[in-house]
Structure 1
């Protein structure tokens, strides 16, 4: 049995891992790599000559940990290039993946039309292009096989999979594989993205079974969350300061799926407690609006507090003064709304999406506050704001930063170093043969590897892209 790492190695994005059991090929995650341009090496030429470093038609099945694009975004391309098998995931992951992929495909379609108009010819995505269209998303959705949490499912007679709740995002799971080879059962655990305890909306991650091999994410491998106040208290204090004491505009970059729902639910709780000032709250993302419906549809997957809240108030996200913004024209108008207000818009890293024009319109406004509520990858506008850059280049303009910039990590869906260690400590060090560290910035992986060694887990290694290991 051989495991090959084809993504999220020494970087955050592009999760993709190929497990070969004799002639059977199982792919765990199939995400878009947003960082490949800066990490290209001579050994990775194969990855760029074709869209995949393997033949998609030879992949027998895919197991998807969760819906985020850096884990799911290459699925339409896999199907387009010949994949015919099943995509195993929870039903909630299937729904959110469809929404995210369809949103991406719509953006790609606009880019193609723009190119067509500019060049006066049809610009079709080639086989080697990562662009895909809504049709490819529809085709991909037909391959999904929804699997309940904690149900042991036989992929083949000798391969079993169990999806274990891990928080982080609606439907997100650890993937636990049991493989029979030469009469011996081997157990492999893929962390996916590990959630944190006491997170708004989601239950705490469950304890996974013992494995022989662990593939573990390291997004916050060298950082701890601030953990100062409960989410509603921290958000209340920020709103008081930015919209009441200084009657200004609070702009919150947030991913449409996951982060926005946690924010809206927390705001709803404040509204019920009559602690929200009478100001407009704009949720500026059609994708976020669709996703909120998905969260309410899968109410049974949310935590007990949320289910009780829904029973009492008949809604998780609908409250006074909340406005869902659908069209782009209205979106641009609210950037200059004259009264104090809150604008929640994507993307969370301030890279693409409607949030860019909100930031552009307000970055020179000393009465505006931009609140960053999660991780931002190096090179993004969010990263630059977090690190105190005095000017921002948005489009073709360089703009001085006069707006107030602040950050909290209360709404980060990722577990921190302590949470990651607790996840690894669910495994008996004497039974665990290897730990592979993935999905994190390189320094985060190095630091977490040292941290694990200090805590009795010296068997961690950091693979490079394309590295294969016999299990």
Structure 2
């Protein structure tokens, strides 16, 4: 039997792995990434049973909204993501205090605008939940807060419909707050005209908008219109591809080109590093901890930068996994 590494997978309801048994029975295992996430784990029969497990995107064991990843059956072969295979995230529980510091410094003290690029699925809901927590604790400054992304708005409405995928912490919140993504002062922006009006606001406010790397979407317009004012701030909340606008800002660029126009970067630029939906190497190791290492014949590392994969491979080998491989795209391997 051969497998090829192409990166495609099916999607199922919930943050799930889809486990298909040889008798046709299907089992869903939670991967703790985000609602709507699904990857395949198959038990294949070619004269004998071979167990092949595909991690998909492994979430975090201390996520503020979703349940932790579940254990999975013993595998002969594992295809595993390695995005953060050589790093540790900051404490996720410090996130709301970090947001509060940025809002107070930018909007309260400097009377400026705080622009927060956020991925529509997962990250936006985490940002809204953080602000909601501050509101419930009576610590959120009385300001205008805008979610300016039709896709983010639509996804947030979908997420609200499936509270059964939330973890125990947010389940407790739901007992006293039926909408953990809504708080006083928050307004959802839909139309282009409403979005454009935000450019002419002189009052301090917070604008949450996609895309998360600031390469597209309405947030790119907001950065274009606010990056030259030193009262304002741009707060990144996730990974930025090296060539993206978000990455250029984080690297300290003095000028950036947006829509073909050069802009001086006078706004403060920062990043909250605790919000990644991908697990760090401790999470990835915990996900593997249900396996008997000596029964895993080969472990393939995918979905990661090559230098990170090399570090993670060395780490896994030291901890007893006998054969770890980093396949190239379209690489084929026979499974005995």
Aligned to 1:355, the other structure's residue is in SS state helix
Matched, 1:248 2:112: yes
Q: Secondary structure at the match of 1:334?
A: helix
TM alignment of 1:42-441, pairs within 5 A:
63-64=10-11, 89-90=12-13, 92=14, 153=20, 157=23, 161-173=26-38, 175-182=40-47, 184-227=48-91, 229-441=93-305
Report the 3-state secondary structure (helix = DSSP H, G, I; strand = E; otherwise coil) of the residue aligned with 1:214: strand
Aligned to 1:101: none
TM score, norm. by length of structure 1: 0.68
1:150 Cα deviation from its structure 2 partner: 7.9
Contact 1:151-1:162 within 8 A present in 2 as well: yes
Q: Distance between the aligned counterparts of 2:219 and 2:241, measured in 1?
A: 16
Structure 1: where are the runs of 5+ without partners?
7-14, 17-28, 30-62, 65-88, 94-148
Native 8 Å contact 2:20 2:41 kept in 1: no
1:230 alignment partner, SS class:
helix
Query: d(CA) in 1 for partners of 2:17 and 2:83?
Result: 25
Structure 1 residue 229, shift from structure 2 partner: 4.6
Corresponding residue pairs, total: 335
2:18, 2:212 → 1: CA distance?
33
- Unpaired runs of 5+ residues, structure 2, are none
Q: Does the CA contact (< 8 Å) of 1:176 and 1:188 recur in 2?
A: yes
TM-score normalised by the chain length of structure 2: 0.94
For 2:93 and 2:65, how far apart are their aligned partners in 1? 17
> Per-residue displacement from partner, 1:63-82 (whole Å, max 9, x unpaired)?
33xxxxxxxxxxxxxxxxxx
Q: Deviations over 1:90-118 (max 9, x none)?
A: 2x47xxxxxxxxxxxxxxxxxxxxxxxxx
Deviation at 1:292, TM superposition (A): 1.3
Q: Within 1, Cα distance between the matches of 2:49 and 2:295?
A: 13
Q: Structure 1 segments of 4 or more deviating over 4 A?
A: 149-154
Q: d(CA) in 1 for partners of 2:80 and 2:19?
A: 21
- Higher RCO, 1 vs 2 (CA within 8 Å, ≥6 residues apart): 2
1:226 shift after superposition = 2.0
Q: Give the root-mean-square deviation of aligned CA atoms.
A: 1.9
Aligned mates of 2:305, 2:94 — CA distance in 1? 28
